[in-house]
Amino acid sequence: MRLLAVACVLLVALVIAEAGLALWTARATPALYRIDARLGWTHAAGIERELDVEGGGTALFRTDARGLRATPHAEPRQPGSRRFLFVGDSFTEGSQVDDDQLFSRRLERALPGVECWNAAVGGYSTLQTLLALPEQLAAWRPDVVVLTVYDNDLQDNLMPYFAGLGPRPYALVMDGAVRIEPQAPAGRFERFLMPAPGSLWLYEHSALYRSLHKNLWLPAKWRELEALEAGERMAIPAADRRLVMSKLLADVAATVRAQGGALVVAAIPTREEAKAGACELHGWLAGECAQLGAPFVSTLPLLAREDAAATYFAKDIHLTARGHEVVADALLPTLREAVK
């Protein structure tokens, strides 16, 4: 009886701790993403949170009821307006800067009569973007879709997980053909979670588990886990990366055109490529887009003219507010042409 009483007390204490922590985190540090069975993860809706930024500042990250960032537009289109949908990963999501500093918002200010919708999600591969597109196109009917590409997208397309976010659909190359796997094996991602029965369920539903995982287990294991993910990324053959990206670009173009829209592909170089003023990947992407009849914009020339210390963070791989401004300048001529 004593053991049963102790067990009951512990259970009640855990329930109270879980409820209290869930309430506190929902108000103070709400999760930016939620696990999604089809896409891997999506933005949580209705979030407002100050995020720490390298260098000591903060950025306000907000999503609306649709999970969109920096998109103050209603579903019905304003008469006579054009609608641009920006899709991609964290470089377009831009959680390191405030809403008005995003290149999508800067472009909206520079393009009268254009609504810029930002549907980018941190960590997304081009495959995840493609899978999300049909529903977005049907709901919002954009005239132009702007797909941004960054170097790591080519690896992400073949990775069945993103270590910091969750499992996701991925591509395989078998006998020279690309196969899409819509369901990632949960075990590949669970290796990055604190061991516990039902760790993936707990990661999604338990505030107490997530707190222990983030604040105790990850700090002790991060070097090992970082090396594991990096090794698996590097093991993906370069030829497979490009074969998959080529197919996905063609599928994105076909999906957009089937809904009556136009596709523009924009590529952002790494900080090191911007410093060197050279990026071989952008040349390959330009060739792929030429075959698809889709305009391609490399943001490299304008970023290479700038001091990388002003356009990129020193450690964080992402763009600063100045970097977003330069990307907007690089895209503006092509997008202005698209509204003629």
Return the minimum-mean-pLDDT range out of 94-98, 214-218, 279-283: 214-218
Within 13 Å of residue 163, how many CA atoms lie on the same side as its CB? 18
Q: What is the pLDDT of residue 179?
A: 97
Indicate if 116 and 20 belong to the same structural domain: no
Is 202 among the domain residues? no
Q: What is the pLDDT of residue 9?
A: 56
Indicate if 130 and 100 belong to the same structural domain: yes
Is 23 among the domain residues? yes
Number of domains in the chain: 2
Mean pLDDT of the chain: 94
Is 188 among the domain residues? no
Q: Which band of pLDDT confidence, cut at 50, 70 and 90, is reported for residue 85? A: very high
Residue 302 burial (CB count, 10 A): 18
Indicate if 24 and 125 belong to the same structural domain: no
Indicate if 100 and 136 belong to the same structural domain: yes
Per the CB < 8 A criterion, the answer to whether 338 and 262 are in contact is yes
The residue ranges of DSSP E strands in the chain, in sequence order, are 33-36, 40-43, 48-53, 57-62, 82-87, 114-118, 144-150, 161-162, 166-167, 170-174, 177-181, 262-268, 296-298
Residues in the chain: 340
* Contact residues for 1 (Cβ-Cβ < 8 A; gap 6+): none
Indicate if 4 and 45 belong to the same structural domain: no
Indicate if 24 and 86 belong to the same structural domain: no
Indicate if 23 and 86 belong to the same structural domain: no
Is 12 among the domain residues? yes
Structural domain that includes position 114? 31-158+236-338
pLDDT (tens digit per residue) in 285-316: 999 999 999 999 999 999 999 999 999 999 99
The CATH number of residue 52's host domain is 3.40.50.1110
Instruction: Find how far residue 328's CA is from the centre of its chain.
Output: 18
9: which 2 tokens? Answer: 């007390």
